[in-house]
């Protein structure tokens, strides 16, 4: 598999991005990695003897975190994220990764790579890293969704979760405010109906926020607004609760020895819920694997994201397209 | 203050409800408590000498968790939640509490007690119990909201949070998918504008899910769909992370003594994030204090909810109405 990496995107680019890519390249000698950025500075970080499966692809500058994605892409087609997307469009790479401006990554994927047939709107698939990892789709790509979009997310998420988690079957739940089919807003009521009638997915019905992480489903489907709020609430609360535990354990009356002895256990849990375990989110529904890294990605996150891409394989977009081909386009849906 | 308590609603009614009410009655000798239910069985639980500030109000049966709220209320106007609401309507009580069917509690409040002037739709106010407690409005009363509803929630939440948390000023944040004013869906974009222009509230702008519990705001405003998902995700993730910590600390290689020593600290944290600390959610926007207890409320939750009601005082609905009177009704808003 060939994977392009935007070496200039992210708070800790290029050093951490390159370091993570080098780690992945050593772990995955059968894959090839294209580091996209200005050759001179990348080569100075890479050193004289990079692994044989790492090469550099020239690009001119980066789209910053604060720029308007669409305008910046138009103005600077040679920027690193744009060139990374072009390598996928041109068949030189199967996938690209960027930890830069998320909007620019999504826009580059849509404008340069394009959607798979049958997918009206893409969804961001993110793993929530609890005891039972669960795939959340959409975590923020499509803020306004129609029921048919949620059906697409369910199909895309099912195919992806089977490959990514190694499941025979992926159970799909719809995030809602109650378990009964009649609960929720118009979007969830109509989506529930569509999901229940769709062949080829294992729909387990509505799932409430309290079941995020309890293993009630392998895939949680929702609109991009709700999904983004769920993802960030889950990350924030996990961090907050661990902080409360840490604070409680360093209290005055405490046996410091016991706390010191148990601290590594707490670190294990912190590492388990760390978003860097997965390193990024897949943009599902485009004709290539596109992975959005966290803006603050370090080498470990980049390495894990690239390993995740390799695991899902080069054929993912075709599999997603095949799965979507079984779905009727809704009448009157012209957008 | 006089508080009616639906003694028949909830998974552990009537014993735990009565036990919690008795605890509150002893803690708050200046307040009066009306236990609503069938007199014979309540009196057998109460025993021969209940505190002087506890009395029984006759009602006939309970609306179960699975019944359709509106239909059940119509069919059985003498059910416990309905009678509890009537005591508020008739001025015999200032507030009522029920841990029964949530929909029935909301419906009884709206149909029997009615809304305060200027409030089109009520919002459920729930405290998220992290290091910096924050008030979430709406946690699930109004699934379909318009921008004006979110403005109302902000005003109601500000008044309530000042009283409940004892703040001079309550900072209001709008839950959204990004901090910039232009982010989000139509509802959040328009609501952001309204909130920014409204005098009398301290609007701090958009707040992301990751800031739930970090003290970025005292009041988090959102529609009832998103709010319910946020609340349940936060509760579920807090429970899940604590379970992960507990599991990690009972691992094989561990010094059991250290774990035993630190277990009370973990229990402290668990108790701190326990929803029973607040015991229930306030339904804001009705002409009385109405508190919705958790279905699985135990005595501790009931006691804490009743203490919370007493703390906000009998004048709350009038204060809410006064605050809302400063808001222009949107043109064309006839509902």
Asked, for residue A100, whether it belongs to a domain, the answer is yes
Do B239 and B289 lie in one domain? The reply is: no
pLDDT at B101 over 80: yes
Do A301 and A253 lie in one domain? The reply is: no
Contact list, A211 vs chain B (CB under 8 Å): 236
> Which structure tokens are listed for A15?
């050093």
Record: contact A237-B242, CB cut-off 8 A: no
User: What is the interface pTM, i.e. ipTM, of the complex?
Assistant: 0.89
Residues of chain A with pLDDT under 70: 251-255, 328-335
Record: contact B248-A233, CB cut-off 8 A: no
pLDDT tens-place string over residues A227-256: 999 999 999 999 999 888 888 777 655 567
pLDDT tens-place string over residues B61-100: 999 988 999 999 999 999 999 999 999 999 999 999 999 9
CA distance B115 to chain A (A): 23
* Closest chain B residue to A266, measured at CA: B245
Record: contact B130-A268, CB cut-off 8 A: no
Do A57 and A173 lie in one domain? The reply is: no
Asked, for residue A280, whether it belongs to a domain, the answer is no
Asked, for residue A254, whether it belongs to a domain, the answer is yes
Do A132 and A269 lie in one domain? The reply is: yes
Record: contact B268-A248, CB cut-off 8 A: yes
Do A62 and A197 lie in one domain? The reply is: no
Asked, for residue B280, whether it belongs to a domain, the answer is no
Contact list, A239 vs chain B (CB under 8 Å): 210
Question: Count of domains in chain B?
Answer: 2
CA distance A262 to chain B (A): 7
Residue A181 has what pLDDT?
A: 84
Do B138 and B267 lie in one domain? The reply is: yes
Residue A163 has what pLDDT?
A: 92
Do B175 and B250 lie in one domain? The reply is: yes
Domain interval for residue A167: 125-275
Asked, for residue A47, whether it belongs to a domain, the answer is yes
Asked, for residue B329, whether it belongs to a domain, the answer is yes
Asked, for residue A256, whether it belongs to a domain, the answer is yes
Q: What is the CATH number of the domain that holds A265?
A: 3.40.718.10
pLDDT tens-place string over residues B9-49: 999 999 999 999 999 999 999 999 999 999 999 999 998 88
Record: contact B233-A212, CB cut-off 8 A: yes
Do A36 and A98 lie in one domain? The reply is: yes
Q: What is the 3-state secondary structure (H, E, C) of chain B?
A: CEEEEECCCCCCCCHHHHHHHHHHHHHCCCCEEEEEECHHHHHHHHCCCCCCCEEEEECCCCCCCCCCHHHHHHHCCCCHHHHHHHHHHCCCCCEEEECCCHHHHHHHHHHHHCECCCCCCCEEEEEECCCCCEEEECCCCCCCCCHHHHHHHHHHHHHHHHHHHCCCCCEEEEECCCCCCCCCCHHHHHHHHHHHHCCCCEEEEEECHHHCCCCCCCEEECCHHHHHHHHHHHHHHHHHHHHHHHHHHCCCCCCHHHHHHHHHHHHHHHHHCCHHHCCEEEEECECCEEEEECCCCCHHHHHHHHHHHHHHCCCHHHHHHHHHCCCCCCCCCCC
Q: Look at residues A252, A275, A298 and tell me which one is the last residue of a structural domain.
A: A275
pTM of the model: 0.91
Record: contact B265-A245, CB cut-off 8 A: yes
Residue B261's pLDDT band (cuts 50, 70, 90): confident
Do A71 and A7 lie in one domain? The reply is: yes
Asked, for residue A8, whether it belongs to a domain, the answer is yes
Q: Which of A143, A206, A236 to mutate against chain B (most B CBs within 10 Å)? A: A236
* Closest chain B residue to A251, measured at CA: B265
Residue B206 backbone dihedrals phi, psi, to 5 degrees: -70, 145
Do B192 and B308 lie in one domain? The reply is: no
Cβ contacts from A onto B, under 8 A: 182
Do A244 and A189 lie in one domain? The reply is: yes
Q: Which of A232, A277, A296 to mutate against chain B (most B CBs within 10 Å)? A: A232
Do B251 and B201 lie in one domain? The reply is: yes
Q: Look at residues A275, A293, A325 and tell me which one is the last residue of a structural domain.
A: A275
Q: Which of A102, A191, A231, A233 to mutate against chain B (most B CBs within 10 Å)? A: A233
């Amino acid at each position: 598999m060939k994977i392009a990496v935007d070496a200039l995107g992210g708070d800790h680019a290029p050093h951490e991005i390159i370091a993570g890519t080098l780690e992945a390249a050593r772990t995955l000698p059968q894959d090839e990695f294209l580091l996209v950025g200005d050759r001179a500075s990348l080569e100075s970080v890479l050193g004289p003897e990079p692994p044989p499966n790492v090469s550099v692809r020239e690009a001119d500058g980066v789209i910053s975190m604060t720029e308007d994605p669409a305008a910046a892409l138009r103005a600077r087609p040679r920027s690193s994220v744009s060139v990374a997307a072009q390598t996928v469009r041109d068949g030189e790479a199967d996938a690209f990764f960027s930890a830069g401006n998320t909007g620019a990554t999504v826009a580059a994927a849509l404008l340069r790579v394009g959607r798979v047939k049958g997918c009206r709107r893409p969804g961001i698939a993110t793993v929530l890293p609890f005891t039972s990892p669960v795939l959340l789709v959409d975590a923020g790509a499509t803020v306004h969704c129609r029921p048919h979009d949620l059906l697409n997310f369910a199909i895309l998420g099912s195919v992806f979760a089977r490959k990514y988690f190694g499941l025979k079957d992926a159970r799909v739940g719809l995030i809602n405010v109650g378990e009964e089919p009649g609960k929720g807003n118009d979007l969830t009521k109509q989506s529930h109906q569509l999901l229940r009638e769709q062949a080829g997915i294992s729909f387990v019905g509505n799932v409430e926020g309290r079941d995020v992480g309890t293993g009630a489903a392998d895939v949680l489907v929702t609109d991009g607004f709700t999904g983004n709020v769920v993802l960030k609430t889950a990350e924030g609360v996990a961090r907050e609760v661990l902080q409360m535990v840490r604070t409680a354990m360093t209290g005055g009356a405490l046996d410091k020895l016991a706390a010191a002895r148990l601290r590594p256990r707490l670190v294990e849990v912190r590492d388990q819920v760390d978003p860097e375990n997965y390193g990024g989110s897949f943009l599902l529904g485009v004709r290539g694997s596109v992975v959005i890294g966290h803006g603050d990605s370090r080498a470990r996150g980049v390495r894990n994201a690239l390993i995740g891409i390799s695991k899902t394989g080069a054929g993912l977009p075709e599999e997603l397209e095949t799965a979507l081909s079984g779905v009727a386009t809704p009448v009157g849906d012209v957008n």
